Amino acid sequence: MALVPREAAPVNGHPDAHGPDMRVEEHRQLLWPHYLNLMLGLWLVASPFTLGYLSDFAPDANQLRVMAERGLPSFEWRNLAMAWSDGISGLLVIILSALSADAWRRNPWAQWANAFVGLWLLLAPLVFWTPLPEAYA
């Protein structure tokens, strides 16, 4: 059996236009980034526990001085806020990746929303002034 390239049927009289079946097929060939994001979302949900966000962190004198000068909340509160932020962001990444992987592409906004969650993940350690270097990983 010889493989013969399949040509797209003309849509609305335009030979260069691709039909909806061709777009679905192209989308199915590029599903791996959505599933990779889904797996990274699972890792993100588990990261506060695996990276030790909720561990007993003993700040040194310099960190205590900076915290007092800037009027920052306690270390425990900031670490807890980072843990919640990462957990909720991970759940959002999982949901948005599943919506993005839809074969009929009914949710094109989900990819953009996932990008904004990624932007939040970059900025969250700075917003919460987290003292843990693991939060920047």
Examine the pLDDT at 27 and tell me if it is beyond 90.
no
Mean pLDDT of 23-34: 72
AA letter at 37: N
Furthest-apart CA atoms within the chain: distance in Å:
76
Domain ranges of the chain: 28-136
Q: What per-residue confidence (pLDDT) applies to 68?
A: 87
Q: What is the pLDDT of residues 49-98, one digit of tens each?
A: 888 888 777 778 888 888 889 888 888 888 899 999 999 999 999 999 99
φ and ψ at 11, to 5 degrees? Answer: -110, 125
At 116, the pLDDT band (50, 70, 90 cuts) reads very high
